[in-house]
């Protein structure tokens, strides 16, 4: 994949979909992660080269992100998910309330997705057989989905994860 296909942060992303939900309602049922990711994936994948494949990949990636917010979110406030597109890349902006001590965790976890040892750390963590932690989930997205992950400034107590997913170029 060449650099132009990576969809740089300053590229123009067209809005596709935006949803908001009370965080307390979202946190009331673990299945909301799967239900929302499946619903959104079906909507945004209809015009891709292989809509079913794209929907499956997008749903899996978004489900992981929603589970990260489920495990690290605070029940006060709203969760918001917006999806944008630029060429072959979808951008997900997931904003959710979290406690101040969680902000540092997310900052470090996102930074770790860009470290040289990310693949080794990911392989080591999945070989333990334990349930993946939130930072391993972010590593998974970076490694297996070629995602570019960053934090966007948002007013405390919320954080915004921005994840660029070049799903059309993924070879399964």
- Enumerate the β-bridge partners of residue 20: 80
Handedness of CA 139, 140, 146, 152 (dihedral sign): negative
- pLDDT for residue 1: 40
Report strand pairing: 78-86 vs 89-97. Answer: antiparallel
- pLDDT for residue 172: 60
User: How far is it, in rounded angstroms, from Cα 45 to Cα 47?
Assistant: 6
What residues does each domain of the chain span?
Answer: 19-169
User: How far is it, in rounded angstroms, from Cα 36 to Cα 59?
Assistant: 9
What are the pLDDT tens digits along the chain (172 aa)? 444 444 455 679 999 999 999 999 999 999 999 999 999 999 999 999 999 999 999 999 999 999 999 988 888 999 999 999 999 999 999 999 988 888 888 888 898 888 888 787 777 777 776 555 667 889 989 998 999 999 997 887 899 999 999 998 776 6
Second CATH level (architecture) for the domain 19-169: 2-Layer Sandwich (3.30)
Confirm if 51 and 45 have CB atoms less than 8 A apart: yes
**Predicted model pTM:** 0.86
Confirm if 91 and 83 have CB atoms less than 8 A apart: yes
């Amino acid at each position: 994949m060449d650099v132009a296909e990576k969809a740089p942060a300053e590229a123009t992303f067209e809005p596709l979909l935006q949803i908001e939900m009370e965080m307390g309602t979202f946190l009331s049922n673990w299945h909301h992660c799967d239900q929302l990711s499946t619903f959104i994936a079906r909507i945004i994948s209809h015009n891709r080269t292989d809509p079913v494949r794209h929907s499956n990949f997008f749903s899996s990636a978004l489900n992981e992100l929603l589970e990260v917010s489920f495990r690290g979110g605070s029940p006060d406030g709203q969760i918001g998910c917006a999806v944008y597109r630029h060429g072959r890349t979808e951008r997900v902006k997931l904003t959710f309330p979290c406690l101040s001590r969680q902000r540092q965790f997310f900052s470090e976890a996102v930074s770790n997705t860009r470290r040289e040892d990310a693949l080794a750390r990911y392989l080591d963590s999945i070989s333990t057989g334990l349930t993946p932690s939130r930072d391993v989930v972010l590593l998974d997205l970076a490694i297996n989905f070629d995602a570019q992950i960053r934090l966007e400034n948002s007013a405390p107590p919320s954080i915004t994860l921005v994840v660029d997913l070049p799903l059309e170029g993924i070879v399964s």
